Amino acid sequence: MGLRAGWACLWLLGCASSPGLGSGGPDNYGYNPEGKVWVRGPWDEIRSSPNADEVIDQLCPAVMKLPRVQRREYGQEYCGAIYSLGDGIYYASHPSPLGSAVLINPTKRKMCRPPRYVEDPRGHVSVLADFHSHPWPYSRMSEEDMLEKNQLWSIRLQFDTTCRVMKLIPYLGVARPGEVYERRGGEWVLIGIIKPENKATGVVSPPGG
């Protein structure tokens, strides 16, 4: 998604990062035979909770401990998921650095691929949201992050190195505006809407606009 860095290697040209990136290494994320990203859960850095917001509030501080996560143009973006097992409890997956191959050089474009699947041996997984980091401070969710074609789940979460957290509820397949929120003081504050006619382009309008 917008403003992000890839993980995979370009042979002869080098790698964007090493295979050991992420929480616990590549045993906790990978590609399935169709080339879709999977991640393993639960991530033991995050306490499970019946309140999804309690899980969300733990994500940024935990992800900020990962390699290169705050290195701006040389940084690494991480993607993961929040999910449940049908028991009313929410869990976070391990974060994954997997994304498109890029050269080793400073770049304003960073990328990781939101997971399509979560593997949890305890039962059937229902994904609520995907999350991703940006390796800069004061970096908001981009238009590419908000494009209708890029939405996988009911919620998309993004945070920067200052741990400012944003939430998009895209309302896929519904003729109502998408909603963009920012987490402030333990509350979600509506900061924008995406009109139904703008969902394909990700253009945000002021609330009530």
The alpha-carbon radius of gyration of the chain (Å, integer) is 16
What is the pTM for the complete model shown?
Answer: 0.84
Q: What value does the mean pLDDT take over residues 198-209?
A: 89
pLDDT of res. 204: 93
What is the reported pLDDT for 13?
Answer: 26
Residue 207 to residue 57: CA distance in whole angstroms:
24
Three-class secondary structure of residue 183 per DSSP: strand
Q: What is the mean pLDDT of residues 11-34?
A: 57
Could you tell me which residues are beta bridge partners of residue 193? 179, 205
CA 126 to mean position of chain CA atoms: 16
Residue with tokens 């169709």: 34
Instruction: For residue 103, give the amino acid letter.
Output: L
pLDDT exceeds 60 at position 20: no
Tokens for 78, please give them.
């991480």
- Mean pLDDT value across the chain: 84
- Contact (Cβ atoms closer than 8 angstroms) between residue 14 and residue 107: no
Going by C-alpha positions, the residue among 76, 74, 103, 108 that lies closest to residue 9 is 103
Q: Is the confidence at residue 50, as pLDDT, over 60?
A: yes
What residues are paired with 40 via a beta bridge? 119
| Mean pLDDT of all residues in 179-192 | 96
Cα–Cα distance between 46 and 64 in angstroms, integer?
Answer: 13
What pLDDT, on a 0 to 100 scale, did the predictor assign at position 111? 76
The pLDDT value given to residue 22: 44
- pLDDT surpassing 50 at residue 21: no
Residue percentage of the chain with pLDDT more than 90: 62
Q: Say if CB 138 and CB 52 are below 8 A apart.
A: no
pLDDT of res. 161: 94
State mean pLDDT over 102-106: 50
